[in-house]
Structure 1
Amino acid sequence: MGRVTQRTPALRIDLGDPSAPVLTRRPDTVAVEEPMEIRVAGQALTVTMRTPGDDFDLTIGFLHGEGLIRAASDVRQLMHCLDEDESGSPTYNVVDVTLAEGVAQPTARDARRFVTTSACGVCGTASIDALRRTSRYAVHEDDTVVDPALLVTLPDRLRERQKVFDRTGGIHAAGLFTADGELLVAREDVGRHNAVDKVIGWAAREGRLPLSGHVLVVTSRASFELTQKALMAGIPVLAAVSAPSSLAIQLAQEVDLTLVGFVRPPRMTVYSGGRRAGIPD
């Protein structure tokens, strides 16, 4: 299925004494990054750079986040195509999707849109309006409350499950927690949006959507794209180790999703939906 890490030659420079730097040649462990193409009925839809593993969850999570499917049952079949590298070895870097009968097929316009948005996510006020119309789940009706003393500890709990990060130091993670702090699933990937798609894809295949009463924790900044994915999955609380973007805050405020950034014990910053963190708005 492809390795998630690989060894590569590297040169470490120790400048403890600037006048006599110490050079050490040694192999280093890095996270694998490979392209994965998603096809629907044999037609190319998008390509994302990802860490191999959990590819079917990634595919379902991506299709759900983009509004192309409503549940895992909208997918009849998933399969890896037998693509090969230059040596003739299978790469498992193409996933072909067969949608269930009655589910609309993506259009050529969809494919063009993903070419322009796969790196940075959709953006703009018009996109926020579109999301408010297309999201199936009314996050604003979710009255879940998470103890702030618990919420601030969740990134550390997720960190305990970041096995690839321990080996490489160069990979993102996303974790899905219950409101009382139980970690249900954790996924790692070089792409922060891929890690989230893998989590949501897992939840879709487990029949857990909508994810009312849950918390999504990410080890990266909170971009518009990640906030979008939380909304589309019905997740009321998004907590990020780093900063949110202005558009992520705008979207969270528009749909009443709780957005918390800089979650690093003992502090965090609430940007939207403070009532779910026990803080009156």
Structure 2
Amino acid sequence: MQNTNIEQLKDYAKELRKTAVTMVYEAQSGHPGGSLSAADLVSYLYFHEMNHRPQEPDWSDRDRFVLSKGHVAPILYSALAMTGYVPMETIHTLRKKGSPFQGHPDSKKCPGVEISTGSLGQGISPAVGMALAGKRDDKDYRVFCLLGDGECQEGQVWEALQCAHTYKLDNFFAIIDQNNLQIDGHTDEVSPNLDFVKKLEAFGYDAHEVDGHDMEAIADLFDQLRNKKDGRPKGIVLHTIKGKGVSYMEDVASWHGTAPNEEQWNQALQELDSPPDREQYEEAIEDIEEGLDR
């Protein structure tokens, strides 16, 4: 683990967001909304919590991170570039032929990607397998799997969650990014997820919920869970905002998989550097909507 403080982690999260938005803008393709909601958690894991070696991506004792909601690859790629798995200039190659940064994570092309993901619901199964292998090989590494709340409507997710409990994988962290939106709209309107904490507890998890944009709260929770070896897998529900940090993207389903134009990109970078107050946010949203209408 790296010796980073809370303010540094917040700064890293800001840079992750700026990088992810820039990647999607330059490619004119990708998924900004869920990338932005997950940025604080990704910052905390990659710049503080995880034991990993960017210059030795296959180090056998590394902690593993699996992005089950693989469509938000830009936020993972931003972390991989910023920590040194690939050259930073690689961010300008998103979705280009020959790039390690394809539309969804590809473990054969990109160092630091543990498993190819993108078919929703399927990333958690190999993540549980990695945790099981760690237990059987008497390794101390942990496996962190980030899921989307819309993704949790897939039945395979719950089979995998149950499997982690069956094998007492207390080295496994199932982390749900609950931003309440998916490509078709609000999750409650598509297929209600109900209470994730109660559901995880019913599946035998040491389950917790936290503000996914409160770095201090995230750090405090991991401090509580880091060394717990009671046979129970860990479940964390992150309460987040889709498009966090960019006024016109926040809590808007259409930004699930839409690329900003140049004006929107410039505004996003400006807001991420100097967040406007709520009144300015509302004015900015109106300006963007008027521009779209024109």
Superposition TM-score, scaled by structure 1 size? 0.25
Q: Which has the higher contact order (CA 8 A, sep 6+)?
A: 2
Higher relative strand content? 1
Higher relative helix content? 2
- Structure (1 or 2) with the larger CA radius of gyration: 1
